[in-house]
Structure 1
């Protein structure tokens, strides 16, 4: 029963993401772009990143490959995305290690 409920929650939440302009990395549907730093770097206003979001990103094929403090690095198909979280949002950008 718990497993079924968990799968249902993930399945319903999976539709709450949309692809961003940065390698189509998923962002929450209601996250708003606050600042455009470049064509590959944005600040989003949102409540931040939680475990469910990380699980959803994994379902989209993104694997967390590194983290340090508020920085998390994700990789998919040889592309890397840096995600930096803070109190009222997060930054995403193409990793400079590409």
Structure 2
């Protein structure tokens, strides 16, 4: 009986930990509604220009590398939040959701999150 409980308890505990990670390790990007950024990423530059149709945030994040991009967990979080991959060009990956376009650029220890309004680019 105890082995049976352990077989059930371990997967439930793992699922609970994964849920907590994907729910609480990410926050909404400043000025870009519904786009997650890692909680440990520190915003150091933010611009918003409605006339030009762009909102841009630059974050310092120690788990980002230009060669490898962002972590698989971050990519999974973007997918779970409803963002789907679009075109990729170098270190820049486009994500779309409900007709919105966000460009995520990964550099060494830095990420840029840019939203283009009304697909202005």
TM-score, length of structure 2 as denominator length: 0.69
The whole-number CA distance in structure 2 between the counterparts of 1:53 and 1:96 is 23
Tell me which residue corresponds to 2:35.
25
Q: Paired residues, what number?
A: 96
| Cα distance, 1:22 vs structure 2 | 1.6
| Cα distance, 1:37 vs structure 2 | 3.2
Say which structure is richer in helix.
2
The whole-number CA distance in structure 2 between the counterparts of 1:64 and 1:6 is 27
Task: Within 5 Å, give how 1:16-95 maps onto structure 2.
Answer: 16-20=25-29, 21-38=31-48, 40-47=55-62, 48=64, 49-95=70-116
1:59/1:96 CA distance change after superposition, 3 Å:
same
- In structure 1, stretches of 5+ residues that fail to align are none
The list of structure 1 runs, each at least 4 consecutive aligned residues, that deviate by more than 4 angstroms after superposition, is: 4-9
- In structure 2, stretches of 5+ residues that fail to align are 1-6, 50-54, 65-69
Instruction: Work out whether residues 10 and 56 of structure 1, in 8 Å CA contact, stay in contact via their aligned partners in 2.
Output: no
Secondary structure of the 1:75 match is strand
What RMSD in Å do the two structures reach over aligned CA positions? Answer: 2.2
Say which structure is richer in strand.
1
TM-score, length of structure 1 as denominator length: 0.83
| Cα distance, 1:52 vs structure 2 | 0.7
Out of 16, 21, 24, which is 1:13 matched to? 21
